[in-house]
Structure 1
Amino acid sequence: MGMVHQDRKPENLLLASKSKGAAMKLVDFGLATEVQGDQQACFGFAGTSGYISPEVLHKDPYGKPVAMWACGVIPYILLVGCPPFWDENQHRLYQQIKAGAYDFPSPEWDMVTPKAKDLINKMLTTNPAKCITASEALKHPWICQHSAVASTMHRQETIDCFKKFNARRKLKGPILTTMVATRNFSVAKSLLKKPDGVKESTESSNTTIEDEDVKARKQEITKATGQLVEAINNGDFEAHRKVCDPGLTAFEPEALGKLVEGMDFHQFYFESALPQSTKPIHTIILNPHVHLVRDDAACKTLYTQYMDGSGMPRTMQAEETRVWHRRDAKWQNVHFHRLWSPAVPTN
């Protein structure tokens, strides 16, 4: 239908109802791009780690074949309960994908029919020019002659593996999706681990005890967030750049729902739209929610208050989540996801 979804994965496939034979719906078109024919109209990183195609990782222009690559990953997972490409290290994961380094290991794949493996092979083709098309896939025997060529054996091992995979996906999915296309994958990975300095209570409740080091780190994050917001309010790009990682990634309204990487996108707004105030604007962070994980943290700022250049008090609702990474005793903002509400005068 001339649309590249760019984020096909099992969790974006929903059944219309619980009845048998219910229609399946493809959802979440936030990264979708319209293309014409064989046009290579897409550029840059988009999608979820593990489902991204080689041409995206090679930073080549791409089109419809990226959807077929993801459609090859999905049945692989559904058939055996685990993905074809997996590594805790992002670099090694991407190397696997670029090389098309997957297989059908025993005993998991022993009972899967050759026709299923053949279709997956034709979808997981590293050369997009040789990738099977959607219309060709629909004519493949495993699809159009499914009742005759597919196995009908119940595979409890696959169900068990898929449950484990799904539990891991629910934990990692939101983090890995927003962190894709960044060199800061170690930050996302660390968010899945238990924080240093946070100890489990011996009481029956699930409360935690924070030591002084944890509190100090949270205060550092709040201070760094304040410096970042002040740099934005003052239109000071250099101050903003010092607080951010050079490969800063972001989802924000100005980017129209696309994932942007690097500082050039933000520098344009500093130079074109933001005020160059001669009087520094001091910002107060209200009710920050800091989730500290090891030496990394995600800071969600609910409200900020400041005096604008004309001396008018302002309150800004900044619905955003920022991921921070501590390097050489310095906190840097490596990613943020933001919904924006305009500043309003304080009553």
Structure 2
Amino acid sequence: MLTVNPQRRINATEALKHPWICQRERVASVVHRQQTVDCLKKFNARRKLKGAILTTMLATRNFSSRSIVAKKGDGSHVKESTESNTTVEDDDCKEDRKVDRSATVIAREPEENGPGKCQVSLVPVIQRNDQVFNDGCARGSSSLDSEEEARKQEIVKLTEQLVEAITVGDYEAYTKLCDPHLTSFEPEALSNLVEGMEFHKFYFDNVLGKFRKAINTTILNPNVHLLGDEAACIAYVRLSQYIDRQGVPHTEQAEETRVWHRHDGRWQHIHFHRSQNGSK
């Protein structure tokens, strides 16, 4: 019924015959119920966060035109604003929020060679439902930062497992982390885009883990970019140390970029780009 094209949209008679309507006791109460609940929870959380952000932005804008400077003397004296309160209505939450302009004042001591003035910043105090939560947005931001950092660390750990599987030549562990349609650009492919696992299997079967006695791999400066909730990209420098048959140590360096995608709750490696190796 939500289809925009009227030629493809079902009519009222067909809608009444749909299992969602005529068999709602067996279908509507089971199908997509948990998925719908999860989506509603996400929507509600984003709605509340948006309301808090908008209120904070408006409160900050009201204070941005005001500058407070205290002259240096025997002590630092700061005048606080005592203007009347302003009521802000949040369109999403439909709740009244009061912004108290009697702000918390943070004064910094002047530098030794400074102009003899202390710098002052204002932290607005926001009241909601008669409860002060001036650090509410800060806590929400901190929670989001912690969640993002945990997801980034998860991507780093998965990449370490993938590189370890390559280092020891464990093709089974490698395939568990990779999408069957993995695509890549790497020096062995001679600048061509390779799709699938067969190209990489050749090196697992004939090269990796067979001709080198010991390999030590180090991942340097991993940088993770979260691409929404279901994708991530990691870039890093990979150093590989090994001893050849003559007992001479070698170090190889490669710059790698790998893309991960979460499908059915499990992360899979779907694409990578590896630069030309250099030895010294």
What band does the TM-score fall into relative to the shorter chain? 0.3 to 0.5
Q: Of Structure 1 and Structure 2, which has the larger fraction of its residues in strand? A: 2
Larger radius of gyration: 2
TM-score between both structures, scaled by the size of structure 1 = 0.35
TM-score between both structures, scaled by the size of structure 2 = 0.43
